[in-house]
Structure 1
């Protein structure tokens, strides 16, 4: 089968990493995979066997924003027509991220029946949360217009329901396909040496961004009274880091909070941690929760809109907290003192091979 993935560049983000993992799995299954990047940025090593092509917009006129979507759709169409003339029609096309979706929705060369828009995150908190009145209505209208009566796949049920409910979107077809994980590779990387091995600590892994709610994380940790250090692994702006450092001093926990910054391989740190904590206001899926469980590290997460409640089921649901400092601190203490048993077999549903087959099956729907 011939598959085309389209995305607006490959900076070091989660959705981009998911796309490449899916591509890796589909190539391993014998599918021919092409990737069109609508910008030249690429911070990842591409899987072997992928056909990678940059379809960049080179227009630099001052009023270029006014015609951007239509202009970039035409460039995409030219690339699609050329590729299909050379090697035949694409059987499946998957568009990733909203900026890309807006361009792909205007394509005239792609068969809408073969195109699936992959939703990686919760749209309403990101696009509507800070808007009121006409601004909110107009944003809802513009987003809904992109996805209405189109094929949609989402990384969690909550993401799909957010789109269909909050934006009044009725898809032509829909599917929920969770994010894929190369479990063998994660375990291999987690086995690398770690300077924290043998030490007791809690960990949070995620970029320093307001929706990750590190303020809630620090206040909840302070409320627990736990003396075990808390490591915060992730990068962000100097302003955000300074604000969190000041909050840690204010809460009198600065001596046991470690701001680790970005680490290319976080898995050894996750593996050796006593507990991983997620404190977000929303998560499209919650990759780090699955990654921690693969490493046999217990997790606590807010029951925020998105994927965490779909990941943490059964006994693992004991780690779900309401979105308050009090509830999160209680769950941290509960799981710290009485962690759940993690069964590796329960994570096989997220393995790269199983997820890639689900994406391939979209071509037959």
Structure 2
């Protein structure tokens, strides 16, 4: 496994859950992190290596990708010398992919790029003219005729459509969830247990659309408090706090910051809401359903539509505050029964099998 770093995000948690699951099933796993940042516990038995870039030259940006690819190559060669060659290499997140695609030591046939997000939303949304054209060309160069994993069908279709990429092989593999670990973590105390509240879990980033969430909450007529769990820079958090004040809901919006274990808060919530413009997968939706909590989400590009099927589809809203408000009010007053859902497609057992099958593709 190769990733840019392990700050408190969804893709980072997926990599650690997957690594832990593979180790528990008898496989040897190395995780190469390209930065020293780590907000999560490292699973026992994981060969965790940090490949930091120590270059301080003024022109370091110009040579960053090739320089870091060489460092990663050296670390992988050394690791294989000591422990034997890798059967599977999975690169996670676009910044990592840019470096891994330049690694000379990694055989293309056993290297897979895992797409965790909707690339057009993340990388093309605010670009125009030459900048837009250049980003498309650079992105196509990384993934063209390479092996690609999508956490939802949408993310792969988006890469092919928006960047004219034709992968060599493509697979759709959902994000893995260790149900027992989620239940155990969710059983920890929560200071608001027994009180009705709704919750949003996600970093303070413009694609998460906290502004839409707050406007919808203000319009929904729901009197119970809204708990926000997630980290972000001070400017982003202060913007959301300012909007809460403008909307007159500041006394009902509770900012909890980043939590390594948000599960007790999810478990005791009456409803979880996703308000994003795009979600590669939508981890928190499955996590809430594992905790038997009703969910509401925007019908955004990505995973939510494939997760919220059947009776859960009633919780899908259009990408505007009015629709989200109406959907929140509806699910709040008439919650669906989420106690007997079949979530096995997201189990760590099922997902590990699909990753191991890549070694024989």
Does structure 1 retain, via aligned residues, the 8 Å contact 2:174–2:351? yes
Q: Give 2:136's match in structure 1, choosing from 132, 137, 140.
A: 140
Map of 1:177 onto structure 2: 173
1:70-101 Cα shifts (integer Å, max 9, x gaps): 12212222222222233332111111111111
Map of 2:82 onto structure 1: 86
The equivalences for 1:34-183 within 5 A come to 34-183=30-179
Shift of 1:343: 4.4
Does structure 2 retain, via aligned residues, the 8 Å contact 1:213–1:279? yes
Map of 1:330 onto structure 2: 326
Output the CA distance in 2 between the equivalents of 1:56 and 1:232: 33
Shift of 1:106: 1.1
Output the CA distance in 1 between the equivalents of 2:360 and 2:342: 27
Specify the SS of the correspondent of 2:117: coil
Map of 2:284 onto structure 1: 288
Output the CA distance in 2 between the equivalents of 1:231 and 1:51: 36
Output the CA distance in 2 between the equivalents of 1:307 and 1:161: 12
Map of 2:296 onto structure 1: 300
Map of 2:247 onto structure 1: 251
Map of 1:32 onto structure 2: 28
Does structure 1 retain, via aligned residues, the 8 Å contact 2:118–2:279? yes
Output the CA distance in 2 between the equivalents of 1:298 and 1:346: 14
Specify the SS of the correspondent of 1:346: coil
Alignment: residue pair count: 361
1:115-138 Cα shifts (integer Å, max 9, x gaps): 001111111111100001111011
Q: Which runs of 4+ in 1 moved over 6 A?
A: none
Question: In 2 relative to 1, CA 58–292 (structure 1 residues): closer, same or farther, beyond 3 Å?
Answer: same
Q: Give 1:262's match in structure 2, choosing from 252, 258, 262.
A: 258
Question: In 2 relative to 1, CA 131–39 (structure 1 residues): closer, same or farther, beyond 3 Å?
Answer: same
Output the CA distance in 2 between the equivalents of 1:88 and 1:250: 60
Root-mean-square deviation over aligned CA pairs? 1.4
Instruction: Identify the range of structure 1 (139-148 vs 181-190) with the bigger mean alpha-carbon deviation.
Output: 181-190
Map of 2:232 onto structure 1: 236
Specify the SS of the correspondent of 1:254: coil
Output the CA distance in 1 between the equivalents of 2:150 and 2:186: 28
The answer to whether structure 1 residue 206 and structure 2 residue 202 are counterparts is yes
- Where does structure 2 lack aligned partners over 5 or more consecutive residues? none
Instruction: Identify the range of structure 1 (34-43 vs 93-102) with the bigger mean alpha-carbon deviation.
Output: 34-43
Does structure 2 retain, via aligned residues, the 8 Å contact 1:72–1:103? yes
Does structure 2 retain, via aligned residues, the 8 Å contact 1:95–1:116? yes
Output the CA distance in 2 between the equivalents of 1:347 and 1:221: 29
- Where does structure 1 lack aligned partners over 5 or more consecutive residues? none
Output the CA distance in 2 between the equivalents of 1:30 and 1:79: 23
Q: Give 1:318's match in structure 2, choosing from 314, 329, 350.
A: 314
Shift of 1:345: 4.7
Output the CA distance in 1 between the equivalents of 2:167 and 2:353: 22
Shift of 1:344: 4.4
1:12-31 Cα shifts (integer Å, max 9, x gaps): 22211111111111111111
Does structure 1 retain, via aligned residues, the 8 Å contact 2:7–2:37? yes
Question: In 2 relative to 1, CA 321–29 (structure 1 residues): closer, same or farther, beyond 3 Å?
Answer: same
Give the TM-score taking structure 1 as reference length: 0.95
Question: In 2 relative to 1, CA 357–247 (structure 1 residues): closer, same or farther, beyond 3 Å?
Answer: same
Output the CA distance in 2 between the equivalents of 1:320 and 1:158: 17
Does structure 1 retain, via aligned residues, the 8 Å contact 2:154–2:302? yes
Map of 1:339 onto structure 2: 335
Question: In 2 relative to 1, CA 314–45 (structure 1 residues): closer, same or farther, beyond 3 Å?
Answer: same
Does structure 2 retain, via aligned residues, the 8 Å contact 1:321–1:328? yes
Shift of 1:235: 2.6
Output the CA distance in 1 between the equivalents of 2:330 and 2:128: 39
Output the CA distance in 1 between the equivalents of 2:265 and 2:38: 26
